[in-house]
Amino acid sequence: MSKRNLTLLTDLYELTMMQGYFYAKDANETVIFDAFYRDNPDGNGFAIAAGLEQVIEYIEDLHFDPEDIDYLRSTGIFKEDFLEYLADFKFTGDIYAVPEGTVVFPREPLVKVIAPIMQAQLVETALLNIINHQSLIATKTSRIVHAAGGDGVMEFGLRRAQGPDAGIYGARAAMIAGCIGTSNVLCGQMFDVPVKGTHAHSWIMSFPDELTAFRTYAKLYPSACILLVDTYDTLKSGIPHAIQVFKEMREAGIPLTFYGIRMDSGDLAYLSKEAKKMLDAEGFTDAVISASNDLDEGLISSLKNQGAAINSWGVGTNLITSKDCPSFGGVYKLAAIKDKATGKFIPKIKLSENEEKITNPGNKTIYRIYSRDSHKIIADLICLVGETYDENNSLLLFDPVATWKKTLLAPGTYTMKEIMVPIFKDGVCVYHSPKVMEIREYCKKELDTLWDETKRLVNPHEVHVDLSNELWHMKTRLLDAYHFE
Ligand SMILES: Nc1ncnc2c1ncn2[C@@H]1O[C@H](COP(=O)(O)OP(=O)(O)OP(=O)(O)O)[C@@H](O)[C@H]1O
Ligand SMILES: O=P(O)(O)OC[C@H]1O[C@H](OP(=O)(O)OP(=O)(O)O)[C@H](O)[C@@H]1O
Ligand SMILES: O=C(O)c1cccnc1
């Protein structure tokens, strides 16, 4: 795909604010912005961070082409000095982020940008656009994969995605979160992920009869032979014809390595159980029985509860559009401004009537605390950069709102890991993005650090995200200072 310049992929107000900073303030003032979200999508117990590789590409390519400048000039909003400044614009700051595939929780920074205010402001919109979309689809996919309980889930959503980008990057996010393959060929090419598929009803309908269609397909693709059995009558025609073709393959000595059926309509519980009986009776006990048709995590769980004999799932619309939760509420908030005289960051806070919406000030990082025995997550601790911890000491965690709720971790019972890593240093990328299939492996391990109670689909157990003592006091001091009569 030809490279696109996404520099103007921003809200106008970022540019009007930049012009304001340029004329009305020190445009080189260094600031810190945090990208974080407030609620897990879909009532889930966690989210999966995704999209960082595309954020890195976007930041590395930030520049205003002459036609961008001409366009901005044509709006009549921007002055020549500012447009001249934009002609030489590039990102020179630092970025820290949580790696893709990491399980994350509300209120903790997923990305932290430390840069001159002009730069940090501009990148807000695209950064959120990328992270919000991919984290949404990765989180939705993890629910679907969880419901499938170890069966393979294929991503089939391209035709229903909200445009090409949502199809490509949604499929990328779906792979990160555990799909075994995607039908999206461009995604396969771009990210080196497995492409998979069966065939459509049109294949069957294009032949004089179903049996001929199945035989022709089996001849062409004997090592990946999944036949769609519901074009005419699943039990009376589709499955018997599929069995006939598998028998012919067996008799001809063609190895039946990956073969089976796909059902795309009807009562999938009943039909799959009948299909299993019919296949087993002919010795095809290892046949794949796959299902598709507007599936999601709820339907897959229900089909499993009904004892459906399905062992492979094709999921499109509900996954790629995250249909029952169409947005991920990531926001980007100013957390600190560097004092030129002292070189220290002055923490900034955003107040709100709604306690949830009050931001966490300062230059922060995140420590993840694990149980030493089980390696499951005990809590996340947002703290200030520079704070040090020693796992050989006890650690007191407390709820940042209901501060009397405390947990004392004894020395030797827990381990800590900083989960934000450096991505850019002085405008130079210092991070190597793993390949998508590597991120997928990492994500699988990340999911193992969650208790089953956090992974359940309905009313999951909430993982605590606490503030360090130092950060909590800083926040409280700032809140106390804002006392309006
Ligand atoms: N046993 C089942 N329990 C719960 N939901 C099921 C079951 N079997 C199928 N479904 C789901 O019910 C919905 C309706 O499926 P059905 O095939 O009856 O209608 P349809 O989608 O209109 O069919 P078609 O694709 O032929 O138009 C689909 O989302 C399907 O996945
Ligand atoms: O149902 P989804 O989860 O979106 O999965 C993808 C669907 O796309 C295909 O059919 P298509 O939707 O084009 O036609 P159909 O609805 O008539 O089967 C396929 O047969 C699946 O049903
Ligand atoms: O390969 C398939 O079976 C497929 C691909 C896209 C959409 N539905 C099904």
pLDDT tens digits for 199-238? 999 999 999 999 999 999 999 999 999 999 999 999 999 9
Return d(Cα 61, Cα 70) in angstroms, integer.
19
Adjacent-strand bridge partners of 380: 368, 465
Burial 62-90 (b: 16+ CB within 10 A, else e): bebeeebbeebeeeeebeeebbebbeebe
CA of 199 to the centre of ligand 3 (A): 6
Protein residue with least CA distance to atom 24, ligand 1: 265
Protein residue with least CA distance to atom 9, ligand 3: 156
265 lines ligand 1 (CB under 6 A): yes
307 lines ligand 1 (CB under 6 A): no
Q: Could you tell me how many residues make up the chain?
A: 485
pLDDT, tens only, 125-182: 999 999 999 999 999 999 999 999 999 999 999 999 999 999 999 999 999 999 999 9
7 lines ligand 2 (CB under 6 A): no
309 lines ligand 1 (CB under 6 A): no
Q: What is the pLDDT of residue 391?
A: 95
- Whose CA is closest to 153, among 283, 309, 316, 332? 316
26 pLDDT higher than 70: yes
CATH class of the region 12-137+326-483: alpha beta
Return d(Cα 284, Cα 242) in angstroms, integer.
11
> Which ligand 1 atom sits nearest the alpha carbon of residue 293?
31
Q: What is the pLDDT of residue 483?
A: 65
The sign one gets for the Cα dihedral 273, 277, 279, 284 is positive
Are the CB atoms for 55 and 183 separated by under 8 Å? no
* Average of per-residue pLDDT across 254-263: 97
> Which ligand 3 atom sits nearest the alpha carbon of residue 226?
3
Q: What is the pLDDT of residue 237?
A: 98
Adjacent-strand bridge partners of 343: none
Return d(Cα 45, Cα 41) in angstroms, integer.
9
Q: What is the pLDDT of residue 484?
A: 60
> Which ligand 1 atom sits nearest the alpha carbon of residue 308?
1
- Residue 414: φ, ψ to 5°: -140, 160
- From 292, 297, 299, 300, the mutation candidate for ligand 2 (largest count of ligand atoms within 8 A of CB) is 292
Q: Name the maximum alpha-carbon separation found in the chain.
A: 89
485 pLDDT higher than 60: no
183 lines ligand 3 (CB under 6 A): yes
160 lines ligand 3 (CB under 6 A): no
33 pLDDT higher than 70: yes
DSSP code, position 192: T
Average pLDDT of every residue of the chain: 97
> Which ligand 3 atom sits nearest the alpha carbon of residue 197?
1
Return d(Cα 43, Cα 45) in angstroms, integer.
7
- From 294, 304, 306, 323, the mutation candidate for ligand 1 (largest count of ligand atoms within 8 A of CB) is 294
Protein residue with least CA distance to atom 25, ligand 1: 265
> 198-293: which CATH topology?
TIM Barrel (3.20.20)
Can you give 311-351 as a three-state secondary structure string?
A: CEEEECHHHHCCCCCCCCCEEEEEEEEECCCCCCEEECCCC
Sorted by where each begins, the domain ranges of the chain are: 12-137+326-483, 198-293
353 pLDDT higher than 90: no
Q: What is the pLDDT of residue 4?
A: 87
